[in-house]
Amino acid sequence: MRHKVDHEERKKNIVQESLRLFGLKGYAAVNFGMIADACKISRTALYAYFKDKRAIFNEAIDEATSRIEAKYAEIVHSRHSADAKLRQICTTVLSILFDYRDFVCVISDYLAQLRRVGETPVTYIKRHTIGLKRIMHSLIIEAKSRGEYEKSINPTRAIALLYSQFEATAVRITTTGGADLSEAIDRTNAILAVMRAPDAPARLFN
């Protein structure tokens, strides 16, 4: 009796093994044959799931961003203040960078490979970046309207400053390995603290 293949499970395994190889050898150095061998399937079987290694990577990005965006939505729809939500969003972003540092390294390597051949980042990465910035922008506007933040705060500039902290942390993780999560969170919270209205009651920040 032939063993029934769980195609969804096999597809997940292919993505996981591919990411492991990308992390070990770098995106450019991994080929379809290596992925097939790691998954203990033939190249023909692998082609039944993905047309090339870029499609595998796109699938991994799509799955990861979907989970992360669900977390953002949970925070945004909570009953906390706008400031508290924004702090939670920033902490979540930084925590993800540390919890999935191998994946972050793979993404960094992948983007560098795209730049070398003159290609643009995949839609999922762009979509996630734009979506995150939109959430942050709406929370800053909400915080200003509720008197939590100074009226003079420029949301675009504030987001650029906060995002620079995310990028700096990602660079430290992928290059020196000397990044510290608590320090990164403290830096972003310090930026947010400067944005607060001086006469805003403490209860607004819970």
Classify domain 57-198 at the CATH topology level: Tetracycline Repressor; domain 2 (1.10.357)
Specify the pTM.
Answer: 0.80
CA 133 – CA 171 distance, rounded (Å)? 19
CA 22 – CA 174 distance, rounded (Å)? 14
Closest Cα to residue 124, out of 56, 52, 22? 56
CA 166 – CA 161 distance, rounded (Å)? 9
CA 32 – CA 60 distance, rounded (Å)? 16
pLDDT of the residue at 63: 81
pLDDT of the residue at 1: 43
Q: Which residue has the tokens 């993905």?
A: 50
At 31, which helix (H) or strand (E)? none
Q: What is the pLDDT along the chain (206 residues), one digit of tens a residue?
A: 455 667 889 998 998 888 888 878 888 888 999 999 999 999 999 999 999 988 998 888 888 888 888 999 999 999 999 999 999 999 999 999 888 888 888 888 777 777 777 766 666 677 778 889 999 999 999 999 999 999 999 999 999 999 999 999 988 888 877 789 999 999 999 999 999 988 766 555 55
